[in-house]
Amino acid sequence: MDKGYARPTKLARELRANATDAERKLWSYLGARRVAGVRFNRQVPIGPFICDFVSRGAKLIIEVDGGQHDANAAADHTRTQLLERHGYRVLRFWNTEILQNIEGVVNTIERALADMPSPNPSRKREGGIVARATRVYPESSTETE
């Protein structure tokens, strides 16, 4: 099946190896399920894009934006819309915000994760408590009237 773009895994590897200071700092908080027990991966290809941090289970993308993104606001908006069509929520933080206020950034991410519905809602149980409560038992001949 042709996706219309080449999967940029080589570039993703290069970006992981050459992370910015802000990306390294944020990763020190996101890695190893340190935020709300949620797993994040770095530099993940989604569609034709490489996203900075992605939680596939929570369907959350975190983008770290440097100064060049100020001039590319329209392109970033289009990118965000495409990623949202893939079912992801996108949070964007400036490099300076991460470097100067990491606790605030992490709190924002934790709140976003807490506000998201469960990615795998429980299936309807069969034979659960309700079924046991309505179970009919045969009458016993030892009952008193």
Q: What is the pLDDT of residue 82?
A: 93
This prediction has a pTM of: 0.71
* pLDDT tens-digit readout, 94-129: 999 999 999 999 999 999 999 987 655 555 555 554
- pLDDT tens for each residue of 13-40: 666 666 889 999 999 999 999 999 999 9
The 3-state DSSP composition of the chain as helix, strand, coil percent (nearest 5) reads 45, 15, 40
pLDDT digits (tens, 9 = 90+) for 36-80: 999 999 999 898 888 999 999 999 999 998 866 556 788 889 999
72: how many CB neighbours lie within 10 A of its CB? 12
Q: In whole angstroms, what is the distance from residue 132 CA to residue 35 CA?
A: 39
What is residue 137's predicted lDDT score, i.e. its pLDDT? 46
